[in-house]
Amino acid sequence: MKISTFMCCNPENPNSDCVHFFCLTPQERRRAFEANLEKIGLQLETEDKSDSKDQKTYFLKIHAPWDVLATYADVLKIKVPFRESDIPHGQDVPLEWLSRPFRLPDDIIRPQLVLKTGIKRLLSNGTFNAAFPLHDVRYADSKSERYNLYKHWARFLCFYKEQPLNLIRKYYGEKIGIYFAWLGFYTEMLFFAAIMGLICFTYGVLSYDDNISSKEICDPEIGGSIVMCPLCDKKCPFWKLNSTCLSSWQSHLFDNEGTVFFAIFMGIWVTLFLEFWKRRQARLEYQWDLVDFEEEQQQLQIRPEFEIKCTKRRINKITQVEPYLPFSSKCARFSLSATTVLLWISLIVACIIGVIAYRLAVYAAFASIIKDPLRKIQLVGRFITPQLATSVTASCINFAIIMILNFFYEKVAVWITDMEIPKTHLEYENKLTMKMFLFQFVNYYSSCFYVAFFKGKFVGYPGAYSYMLGNLTKLRNEECDPGGFLSKNLFSKGRHNPENHYSRWEQDYVLQNFSQLGLFYEYLEMVIQFGFITLFVASFPLAPLLALFNNILEIRVDAWKFTTQFRRPVASKARNIGAWQEILNAVAILSVVTNAFIMAFTSDMIPRMVYLYVLSKDRSMSGYVNSSLSIYNISQIHPQNMPEERWYDNSTTTCRYRDYRNPPGHQREYDHNMQFWHILAAKMAFIIIMEHVVFVVKFFVAWMIPDVPSDVKARIKRERYLIQEYLHNYEVERLKMQLSASFITEPCSEMTLTSDKQEMLSECL
């Protein structure tokens, strides 16, 4: 059996870094490298460039015979079983017959493993153009691992089937296998969150007719008689409360009594997801022989870029001599990197402020066009309100800004990470991960944080409105309505149809290269989604359901890309998902806080509960709308705030606004009333109680669920015991053989047993 790896090289490559690689030309470096490969027993075969499609590219085929693989398996201490385990496998799922429709054939789930190795050297300095292991055959050819992956994994019709994780690990390596294991487990757990979110939304639909507040808003006698104060200066007119009838009904679907229970459930769900993933991860570590794999091994593998750029050397106790980056240079590079990250985050904040200013200015412009707020604009055969037109255009602009900043920052993040010159690949990935996630966190979530925690919170009241950036902009802060994202690259860019090429290695060469950061972007996409469904799930309970549908498609699309569109990546080991685990833990803790504040300060649940249990005389929601609106004397409105055209009846002397303040003529006119302080106290109490309840449950659940399953612990201990027993028996047999040889060579009558030999003989016998 031979394992093949292919490298393509171009002798006309101008990238010759002669100084840093023993003063050799690229051709000489290639010849020296190939000679070293042959010395260790690898078999090389070079294809004539005239046989390639472009007639310029050489293809060097590298074969690893079995004896070479066995030798290096021993050097790398790759473990193989010497005895079948005598501990029965634990059952993860009871009633196995229920899961039978979702399972794959046993030979796909548990394939026979073989050793595979690859080559990663001399690519960074241009000695070789590419190096990659070959796919076994075309994905459409039967009786191959690639075909099995395509048939049982990469097709969308298999969306309800389990993933062949062992086959993925065998074909692509543990690092890619652990990603798909995590993605599959995350999707499985989303099913429970989606069910609860759907139940919460269904409750909102079923309680639609019991929504007294919306009925009062829509009632012509109640909401139609309430005149609301203008929403902007001069251009915005007075308006009737019943114009928000539709939005109040829509708000009830997502903001109801069931939402608080769903927010608490999601806080517990996040903990269960992370804890159960640790258990699944521990099981995979055992099954994939990664228990004794140490990440420190990767820290000894210095990046070629580090060796090239760091010319200074120092003594290392482990590796003897190693290149290093001086401390002064490291500090300077880190300072420049941190400054660049802060600059780009500031740019995001500035763009968000610009979008908010746009919303305020455009709303005022629409209001100047539409004098009657009950009128609507006819656009493309449909009628839209100024609020909807403003929100849609602002959302489009915000989306464009997010995409543009994301495009440029990806390049900037890679540049500043390269500029820091990380020593190892693991350090490089961790640094880039933290930079990218910090930027993406601010880029994607800043608008959500504005809507959840700032919009409508610092408005003021008709006598003392608050303005954006003080009085510089003359734009009043945006008010909330009194009545109450996902881009996906489904298909990769393909260069050609590889089936048009006549050689196996060229068919793989024209496929896309799966870069070192390929998995990084896959993780980043999913973690950003995880943030959306946990940080702001209280405002949209259907988010887990939409994420579930997306992930079902995501798994199969990623599988299709790996199987048909990418070169076969060089296999690499990984025990876990790396830095993403800590990021998920941080998001999980932050989600409890954000959802508690959303329920307290953005939702109307607390004011409704205070009114129902404290202020309502008949313990009903009748009169809540009137209670939630304060009164202002129109004659006291400042001229700069007064609408240019007054369409309302001249007999109307007051207008209403959303706040809890004393009415005109009160001793403390327009100050916050007692209802405001009751509601504020209830909000603070709710935040404290919800956070403590969820955190206590989270920590209790985390304490109750061990990170490593008991059967896995038992199997690990049993294997270590068997290894010790095997080594002990081996030493005993060796001593027996030595003693037997001693008896044969020395006659019993003449042989004198020393004390050491007597002890050994007694132990052996």
Collect the ranges in the chain with pLDDT lower than 70.
1-24, 75-103, 106-126, 293-301, 316-320, 364, 366-388, 456, 468-502, 516, 645-650, 742-765
Give the domain ranges of the chain. Answer: 2-78+115-133, 711-764
DSSP letter (8 states) at residue 567: P
pLDDT of residue 107: 60
Neighbouring C-alpha atoms within 13 Å toward the C-beta of 440 = 21
CA–CA separation, 143 and 490 (whole Å): 28
Cβ pair 243, 373 in contact under 8 A: yes
**CA–CA distance, 572 with 177 (Å, rounded to integer):** 10
Average pLDDT, rounded, for the chain: 78
> DSSP secondary-structure letter at 101?
G
Q: What is the pTM of this model?
A: 0.80
In 3D space, the residue among 34, 32, 31 whose CA is nearest the CA of residue 5 turns out to be 34
Predicted confidence (pLDDT) per residue in 516-543, tens digit: 677 888 898 999 999 999 988 888 889 9
Element (H, E) at 264: helix 257-287
- How far, in Å, are 21, 342, 402, 612 from residue 441 at the CA level? 41, 13, 11, 38
pLDDT the model gives residue 493: 43
Cα separation, 737 vs 731, in Å, equals: 10
Sequential DSSP letters for 429-466? HHHHHHHHHHHHHHHHHHHHHHHHHTTTTS-EETTEE-
Pairing of strands 227-228, 239-240: antiparallel
Tokens of 676: 């405001």
Ordered alpha helix ranges (H), 292-326: 296-299, 304-309
For residue 645, count other CB atoms closer than 10 A to its CB: 12
pLDDT value at residue 88: 60
Rounded to 10 degrees, what is the CA torsion of 340, 346, 347, 352? Answer: 160
Question: Please, which residues have CB within 8 angstroms of residue 315's CB and are 6 or more apart in sequence?
Answer: 321
Smallest Cα–Cα separation from 217: which of 749, 629, 718, 648?
A: 629
Residues 6+ apart with CB under 8 A from 641: 230, 233, 234, 462, 465
Mention every residue, 6+ apart, whose C-beta is less than 8 A from residue 402.
443, 444
Contacts of 379 (CB under 8 A, 6+ apart): 389
Torsional sign, CA 224, 226, 231, 235: positive
Helix (H, G, I), strand (E, B) or coil at 724: helix
**In the block, residue with structure tokens 């260790």:** 40
Sign, CA torsion 731/735/740/745: positive
Q: pLDDT for 290-310, tens place per residue?
A: 877 665 555 556 777 777 777
